[in-house]
Amino acid sequence: MTASSNKRAIIVGAGPAGLAAAEVLAQAGVEVIIRDRMPNPARKFLLAGRGGLNLTHSEPLATFLTRYGAAQSSLEPAIRAFTPDDLRAWCEQLGIETFVGSSGRVFPKQMKASPLLRAWLARLAGLGVKLVTRSRWTGWDGDAVTFDTPGGPQTEAPGAILFALGGASWPRLGSDGSWIEAFTMRGADVTSLKPSNSGFLVSWSDIFRDRFAGHPIKAAHFVHDAAEASGEVIITRTGIEGGAIYALSPALRHSISAVGHADLTIDLSPNLTAGELARKIASAPSGTSTANRLRRTGISPVAASLLRERRGGPGLPNEPDELATLIKECVIPLAGVAPIERAISTAGGISWNSLNADYSLKSDPRTFVAGEMLDWEAPTGGYLLQACFATGRAAAKGMLARLF
Ligand SMILES: Cc1cc2nc3c(=O)[nH]c(=O)nc-3n(C[C@H](O)[C@H](O)[C@H](O)COP(=O)(O)OP(=O)(O)OC[C@H]3O[C@@H](n4cnc5c(N)ncnc54)[C@H](O)[C@@H]3O)c2cc1C
């Protein structure tokens, strides 16, 4: 279907949420213009593709929805209207086959974003959607919106506008959270943007940092308060990052903001009990150095050195029971949250109580919002993209019902 000219909408932000909204509107016969500040659309989506593009998750929908924590009830209608199965079917319609990995995560078979994005942009172009890049939204002027473009400032007076400006992680890809002030002035309540699925800062010793930055700690179990996760983390020069730590990031961030630090307890040998470990350690011939005893117990060099970085380090006990306890409960003090610039996603954003159920602003119901700029967070696992697709589509449907 091609667009008819008496129905016109502007979408600002050509990430997955904005593109999903554009598709719904254009399919309903709305003339859609997408503006984005970057020279190319969906830069963060393409970056996500470097990690294989985890599109969504195959677990039962009831479990899936719990991953959004406090935002579950707000996001649920949009996700039920565009479920993980719908997302997979949509990919297939674009000619992109998906598969379920061993963890239940869903990926495109090609494990990258560019073929999907190419097919999607071609579909949007076929629907008459116009994409204007290098066009940075700078705010409102009355009911008009203003843009900086290479040709100078431009003003649009749209009857309908949808913003999908993203959060504030990886700002060099286009989303930097600079929309907060204008939206606050427009009457929206915005919760401060914080890193989510982020790394954390640790004051490593020079020797550990220089030797082990970039090394993984594999198959460990991580605990902070009631939150726990198993998997892999990477030692960085400034601290620690990776899937297992991202999963704990809301709990760790909360403690750091409350008391300035957080203790991360790591079980470096989750498949053995403390008793089994102690017996293995004790079975080494007398005179074996502690380093060699740890190696014989299956503790990697990086994990063995991590024990010396623990709270209370660096000396290690000789007694097998004490050493085993330490391996099972190695407490690493985290000194802060790594900068949002390197986080996978953003917590905080436009609060749900500023929104009508159709994703329009209560303070300006001709303005709709979607994607990561809303106040929700979720772990990695495909939950981020699923919510961006779903809210983009829901906001577009809201706009259709309210304005067209
Ligand atoms: C390294 C990395 C890996 C990731 N991997 C995954 C993954 O595997 N699975 C998953 O579910 N999620 C993943 N994510 C998260 C996911 O990419 C984001 O949640 C998603 O892209 C957010 O979509 P969005 O449309 O809301 O915002 P964005 O994708 O951030 O798009 C916002 C758009 O708005 C534009 N914009 C911003 N401000 C302005 C302005 N003033 N004027 C005009 N345009 C503007 C930006 O240029 C950008 O194109 C990953 C993120 C990162 C950083």
Tokens 């067209």 correspond to what residue? 404
Q: What separation in Å is there between the alpha carbon of 173 and the centre of ligand 1? A: 8
Looking at the structure, do residues 59 and 95 belong to the same domain, yes or no? yes
Same domain for 257 and 355: no
Residue located nearest, by CA, to atom 53 of ligand 1: 344
Contact 219, 270 (CB under 8 A): yes
Q: What is the pLDDT of residue 344?
A: 96
Closest ligand 1 atom to Cα of 373? 26
- Closest ligand 1 atom, residue 54 Cα: 8
Question: Averaged over 124-146, what is the pLDDT?
Answer: 97
The CATH number given to whatever domain includes residue 39 is 3.50.50.60
Average pLDDT estimate for 137-151: 97
Cα gap 242→173, rounded to integer Å: 20
For residues 244-254, average pLDDT: 94
Query: Are the C-beta atoms of residues 106 and 88 closer than 8 Å to each other?
Result: yes
Among the three residues 318, 337, 356, which one is the final residue of a domain in this structure?
Answer: 337
pLDDT for res 3: 43
Q: Are residues 241 and 225 in the same domain?
A: yes
Please give the average per-residue pLDDT across 1-15, as a whole number.
79
Using the atom order of ligand 1, give the atom closest to the CA of residue 51: 8
Q: What is the pLDDT of residue 5?
A: 55
Of the three residues 316, 337, 358, the one that is the final residue of a domain is: 337
What pLDDT is recorded for position 1? 42
Domain of 53, in residue numbers: 4-195+345-403
Probe residue for ligand 1, chosen from 53, 134, 180, 344 as the CB with the greatest number of ligand atoms within 8 Å: 344
Do 161 and 289 sit in the same domain of this protein? no
Is the domain of 140 the same as that of 257?
A: no
Pairwise CA distance, residues 114 & 120, whole Å:
10
Q: Which two tokens stand for residue 196?
A: 């989510």
Atom of ligand 1 nearest to the CA of 147: 42
Residues 211 and 316 in one domain: yes
Return the best residue to mutate from 45, 67, 175 for the ligand 1 pocket (most ligand atoms within 8 A of CB): 175
Residues 221 and 146 in one domain: no
Same domain, 280 and 301: yes
pLDDT score recorded for residue 25: 98
What is 235-298 written as a DSSP string? E-SSEEESHHHHHTHHHHHHHHHHHS-EEEEEES-TTS-HHHHHHHHHTSPTT--HHHHHHHTT
- How high is the mean pLDDT of the chain? 96
The pLDDT value recorded for residue 312 is 85
Confidence class of residue 92 from pLDDT cuts 50, 70 and 90? very high
Cα-to-centroid distance, 215 and ligand 1 (Å)? 28
Residues 255 and 399 in one domain: no
Ligand 1 centroid from CA 272, angstroms:
41
Whether 219 and 290 map to the same domain: the answer is yes
The answer to whether the bond into 314 is cis (omega within 30° of 0) is yes
Q: Taking the model in full, what pTM does it have?
A: 0.93
Tell me which residues have their CB closer than 6 angstroms to ligand 1: 12-18, 35-38, 43-45, 47-48, 51, 53-54, 136-137, 164-166, 169-170, 174-175, 344-345, 371-372, 382, 384-385, 388
Looking at 305, 337, 369, which one is the last position of a domain? 337
Q: How confident is the model at residue 192 (pLDDT cuts 50, 70, 90)?
A: very high
Q: Which helix (H) or strand (E) holds 366?
A: strand 364-369
Q: How far apart are CA 117 and CA 19, in angstroms?
A: 10
Same domain as 187, residue 60? yes
- The structure tokens listed for 198 are 């982020």
Local confidence band at 211 (pLDDT 50, 70, 90 cut-offs): very high
Tens-digit pLDDT profile for residues 355-398: 999 999 999 999 999 999 999 999 999 999 999 999 999 999 99
What is the residue with the minimal CA distance to atom 41 of ligand 1?
137
pLDDT at 6: 78
Ligand 1 atom 35: residue of nearest CA: 13
- pLDDT digits 0-9 by tens, 275-333: 999 999 999 998 899 989 999 999 999 999 999 999 987 889 989 999 999 999 999 99
For residues 136-141, average pLDDT = 97
Judgement on whether residues 32 and 129 belong to the same structural domain of the protein: yes
Measure 377 CA to ligand 1 centroid, in angstroms: 13
pLDDT range class, residue 4, cuts 50, 70, 90? very low
pLDDT for res 282: 94
Structural domains of the chain, count? 2
What local confidence, expressed as pLDDT, does residue 80 receive? 98
CA dist., res. 392 & res. 34, Å (int): 13
